[in-house]
Amino acid sequence: MDLDSLRLFVLAAETLNISAAGRTLGMAPAVASTRLAKLERSLGVELLHRSTRKVSLSADGAEFLPYAAEILAQESAARSALGLQRADAAGTLRFAAPSTFAQLYIAPLLPEFLQRYPRLDLDLRLSDTPFDLIEGSFDLALRNAALEDSSLKARKLADDRRILCAAPAYLDRRGVPQTPEDLAAHDRIGFRDRAAKSLVGPDGAATQIDFGGPGCRLVVDDGANLKAATHAGAGISINSLWSVHREIADGTLVRVLPDHDVDDRTALWLVYPQSNVLTAKVRLFIDFLLEQIGKPPVWERA
């Protein structure tokens, strides 16, 4: 089966415009129509209904479309596996990521990625609200959590180390905690539905701390606002090191109980559905993010 004809059909099904799909693939309108008709004859079905006014996907075309897309994905994956990661890789990559991390580390990199791969487009969903990767039809997503979903595959981007921190003005006003037990007397900023954590001291002793809602003076559900409230002096919070490392370095935030570690096994994972082939476009974006952000994490580089 002719792969170029399959590409033409998939593009035409997405745009409902055979001429535009042909131009994208470098075909004249007449050539595109002829190739599509030849594909339909070889299959013995009409894939697209044509009229003088519009093009629409037929029932047979709708049934065939996912198989055509899978054949193209397999071809792309085979090329990728052989190292044929071409600079002319084309298509749209649907990517989801937490907004706070994306604003700091991904958005600034996008111009370079798009310049490096001029035929790749990005469709981004940037939100700290949980989402379903499969139902949302995303090619790839970044998750900063423990990976438990067996329907997903993943590449680890970096560890997601968490620390306790507060603004100097808050600590001047309320005092500096000396032990984990002192935290109970302090204003805590919670992150909604965050599970209780253990704070591990230099002697290995663990103390459970709760920054998930109950007992917290302030509860938020967004990483940027968690840091902003901490910076404003609302209390002590647990933040990812990647989120606050610049503020810790310049002294606008101070690490609390620096000899204790938050026992948190979360990491930053690049995940994609188990059923999906690792296409060239996905592999290119994964490799780009690992190059730019990981090995070691950019926030831990000297």
Task: Write the CATH number for 212.
Answer: 3.40.190.290
Q: Is the pLDDT of residue 11 over 80?
A: yes
Partnered with residue 126 across adjacent β-strands are 97
Higher pLDDT, 88 or 258: 258
Considering the domain architecture, whether residues 76 and 11 belong to the same structural domain is answered as: yes
Lowest mean per-residue pLDDT among 77-86, 129-138, 250-259: 77-86
Plot region of 203 (φ>0 → left; ψ -120 to 50 → alpha; else → beta): alpha
Q: For residue 236, what pLDDT is reported?
A: 97
The band of 273, judged by pLDDT with boundaries at 50, 70 and 90, is confident
Q: Tell me the C-alpha distance between 192 and 226, whole Å.
A: 10
Q: Is the pLDDT of residue 57 over 80?
A: yes
Q: Across residues 193-200, what is the average pLDDT?
A: 86
The CATH number that applies at residue 32 is 1.10.10.10
Considering the domain architecture, whether residues 138 and 180 belong to the same structural domain is answered as: no
In-domain check, residue 29: yes
Q: How many domains does the chain contain in total?
A: 3
Inter-residue contact 256 to 179 (CB < 8 Å): no
Considering the domain architecture, whether residues 258 and 290 belong to the same structural domain is answered as: no
Q: Is the pLDDT of residue 84 over 60?
A: no
Q: For residue 232, what pLDDT is reported?
A: 97
Q: For residue 54, what pLDDT is reported?
A: 85
Q: For residue 150, what pLDDT is reported?
A: 61
Q: Is the pLDDT of residue 96 over 80?
A: yes
Pairing verdict, β 261-263 and 152-159: unpaired
Range of the domain at 167: 162-263
Q: Across residues 114-118, what is the average pLDDT?
A: 92
In-domain check, residue 21: yes
Q: Write phi, then psi, for 143 (nearest 5 degrees).
A: -125, 135
Q: What sign for the dihedral angle of Cα 128, 129, 133, 137?
A: negative
In-domain check, residue 86: no
Q: Tell me the C-alpha distance between 21 and 270, whole Å.
A: 31
The 3-state DSSP class for residue 96 equals strand
Q: Is the pLDDT of residue 276 over 60?
A: no
Q: Where does a domain end: 81, 115, 150? A: 81
In-domain check, residue 269: no
Higher pLDDT, 176 or 99: 176
Considering the domain architecture, whether residues 254 and 166 belong to the same structural domain is answered as: yes
Q: Is the pLDDT of residue 277 over 80?
A: no
The band of 72, judged by pLDDT with boundaries at 50, 70 and 90, is confident
Q: Across residues 163-191, what is the average pLDDT?
A: 95
Q: What is the pLDDT of residues 225-243, one digit of tens each?
A: 999 999 999 999 999 999 9
Mean pLDDT of the chain: 87
Q: Tell me the C-alpha distance between 101 and 41, whole Å.
A: 50
Considering the domain architecture, whether residues 113 and 73 belong to the same structural domain is answered as: no
Q: For residue 109, what pLDDT is reported?
A: 96
Hey, what amino acid is at 100? T
Percent of the chain past pLDDT 90, that is, above it, reads: 49
